[in-house]
Amino acid sequence: MMTAVSDQLHGASSPDALTREEILASRRQLRRRRLVALGLVAPLLAFIIFAFFAPIATMLYRSVYNPTVVELIPDTLAALGTWDGTGTPDEPVLTALAIDLKRLANERTAGRLGEEFNRALPGTSSLVKSTARKLRRADDAELAASGATMLGDIDERWTSTDLWNAVRETGRSFRETYFLTALDLERTPEGGIQLRESARIYIPLYIKTLRIALVITVLTFLLGYPLAYYLAHAPPMRANLLMVLVLLPFWTSLLVRTTAWIALLQTNGVVNSLLMGVGLTSEPLEMMFTEFATIVAMTHILLPFMVLPLYSVMRGIDPSYMRAAMSLGSKPIPAFWRIYFPMTLPGVSAGGLLVFIISVGYYITPALVGGTDGQMISNIIAFHMQQSNNWELAAALGALLLVLIMVLYWVYDRLVGADNIKLA
């Protein structure tokens, strides 16, 4: 730096124009600074790509890619080849399946095939598994000669068109079926797309999730706004002291707070004992394992995320605006609505969007206090990951949730600015 500056002082013939060397030097310097900056960021970027983005990408890939059936019954699928989707496929196809099933029964993988078929055509898992069990000890030569007849004899469903459409459907490694299921859609026999005829599950659940998130956002706003207002206008000493009461819950473990709500809301819990003690109810109220419990506990947990941005916006508002309004004759309450409240809107949108985004993806609290009707979309994703082992559907539901979050994040970025996330 020093040398560059002294060169400039001595070597410049005209004070305005830079020499070629100077331009080059400054370009070199810029390039060096850029390299240094990149070098500093690169390790973290590489780490995040490995630790975070690659997993997300894998999940997105899983939502459309599932080679299980292709790997399990390659011969059947090869024989099925050009079947047109009407009637029953030719005998060699059925024979190939009979042979594949026997092999699967002995490899103990018939269950996986049954599971895949079952997702395309409910009820098929039991058919696959019981047939495989019966074919397990079948004679190879007999199977090769009359496998098709044997299948038909075990169960006539093996000759149905629906079943073979399911085989063909699941026999593609790349498929959009999981997204269709996640959107409560299904394919018609003719290949079109329609709303699922049986129970519609996921769209109502997304709507319910958004509704719960909205209720929580509104509640945190209704509770948080007066508190933030009070804190922002209290004398600094008292405000700092009371702020601790907001920050301590914020820093307290999520599970501790959820535990507290379980202790409070249980049938024989603190709230019920209190209500019955003062004689407000004679019977304990059912609060645990309901949507009510989910909403109350999450409102409590997320309230600081609303209070903190509101507080910091309110602290920055010049009190002279309100004074000016009132000295011009406005009453305090109209002045508040017309002058003060609009100035706090950035805080409202920051806090509101933050609370909304966090609640849409919430898992732990609904899982512990929500029972059956307080479950949200994250819980069903966890369910398909851990209980039903339908990982592809979990991935598709996750991908949709991700899109939803991205849209909300984009709105947040527009309104608030992503780098303005404040941490207490």
Partner 1 sequence: MARFPEYYTLWDRTGIYALRAVAGLVLFFLMAPILVIIPLSFNAEPFFTFTEGMLAFDSEAYSLRWYGSILENPNWLLAIRNSFIVGIAATILATTLGTLAAVGLANSAMPYRRLITALLLSPMIVPLIIIAAGMFFFYTRFNLVGTHLGLIIAHAALGVPFVIVTVTATLAGFDRSLYNAGIGLGASPMRAFRDIVLPIIRPGVISGGLFAFVTSFDEVVLVLFLAGPDQRTIPRQMFSGLREQINPTILAVATLLVLVSGLLLVTRELLRRRSDRLRGV
Partner 2 sequence: MRLTSILVGAALAATFATTTVADDLTAVSFGGAYGAAQKKHMIDPYIAATGNNVLFEDYSGGIAEIKAQVEAGNIQWDVVDIEVIDLERACSEGLVEVIDFDLPPGDDGMAAADDFFPEALANECGVGVIFWAIIFAYNNETIGDTVPTTIADFFDTNKIPGKRALRKRPQVNLEWALIADGVAKEDVYEVLATEDGQARAFAKLDTIRDDLVWYDSWSQAPQLLNDGGAVMVQSANGRIFGAIQDDGAPFAMVWDKMVFDLDVWAIVKGTPNKDLAIDFIKFATNTKPLSGMQDVAYGPTRKSAAALVDPSVANDLPTAHIDKGLKADGIFWADFGETLGEKFNEWLLQ
Q: Which does 110 bind (CB under 5 to 8 A by kind): partner 2, partner 1, none?
A: partner 2
CB of 277 to partner 2, least distance (A): 16
Cα dist. 277→71, 246, 269 in Å?
64, 29, 12
Q: Is 111 in the site for partner 2 (CB under 8 A)?
A: yes
Q: Is 351 in the site for partner 2 (CB under 8 A)?
A: no
Q: Hey, what are 337's tokens?
A: 């609505």
Amino acid at 82: T
What are the backbone dihedrals phi and psi of residue 253, each rounded to the nearest 5 degrees, phi first? -50, 140
Cα dist. 344→228, 246, 350 in Å?
11, 19, 10
One symbol per residue from 265 to 304: x for binding partner 1 (CB under 8 A), - otherwise; what is it? -x-xxx--x--------------------------x--xx
Give the one residue of 12, 24, 57, 201 binding partner 1; rule: CB under 8 A.
57
Q: Kindly identify the residues of this chain, within the stretch 125-154, that bind partner 1 according to CB under 8 A.
A: none
Instruction: Give 301 or 368: the residue with its C-beta nearer to partner 2.
Output: 368
- For partner 2, which stretch binds (CB under 8 A), given 141-149, 250-258, 260-268, 313-321? 260-268
Instruction: Give 30 or 201: the residue with its C-beta nearer to partner 1.
Output: 30
Give the one residue of 389, 413, 418, 424 binding partner 2; rule: CB under 8 A.
389
Q: Is 290 in the site for partner 2 (CB under 8 A)?
A: no
Q: Is 256 in the site for partner 1 (CB under 8 A)?
A: yes
Torsion-angle region of 123 (φ positive above 0: left; ψ -120 to 50: alpha; else: beta): left
Give the one residue of 47, 386, 407, 424 binding partner 2; rule: CB under 8 A.
386
Q: Is 382 in the site for partner 1 (CB under 8 A)?
A: yes
Q: Hey, what are 50's tokens?
A: 């490995």
Give the one residue of 230, 243, 371, 411 binding partner 2; rule: CB under 8 A.
371
Residue for token pair 């069903």: 380
Q: Is 413 in the site for partner 1 (CB under 8 A)?
A: yes
Task: Count CB neighbours of 324 within 10 A.
Answer: 13
Number of H helices, E strands in the chain: 22, 2
Q: Which does 142 bind (CB under 5 to 8 A by kind): partner 2, partner 1, none?
A: none
CB of 373 to partner 1, least distance (A): 18
Q: Is 259 in the site for partner 2 (CB under 8 A)?
A: no
Instruction: Give 138 or 408: the residue with its C-beta nearer to partner 1.
Output: 408
Question: SS3 for 194?
Answer: strand
Question: SS3 for 319?
Answer: coil
Instruction: Give 217 or 378: the residue with its C-beta nearer to partner 2.
Output: 378
One symbol per residue from 208 to 247: x for binding partner 2 (CB under 8 A), - otherwise; what is it? ----------------------------------------
CB of 70 to partner 1, least distance (A): 19
Q: Kindly identify the residues of this chain, within the stretch 219-248, that bind partner 1 according to CB under 8 A.
A: 223-224, 226-227, 229-231, 242, 244-248
Q: Is 173 in the site for partner 2 (CB under 8 A)?
A: no
Q: Which does 118 bind (CB under 5 to 8 A by kind): partner 2, partner 1, none?
A: partner 2
**In this structure, are residues 164 and 89 in contact, taking their beta carbons and an 8 Å threshold?**
yes
**How far apart are alpha carbons 424 and 416 in whole angstroms?**
16
**In this structure, are residues 97 and 91 in contact, taking their beta carbons and an 8 Å threshold?**
no
3-class secondary structure per residue, 368-422: HHCCCCCCCHHHHHHHHHHCCCCHHHHHHHHHHHHHHHHHHHHHHHHHCCHHHCC
Burial class (CB within 10 angstroms; exposed 0-12, middle 13-18, buried 19+) of 146: middle
Q: Is 112 in the site for partner 2 (CB under 8 A)?
A: yes
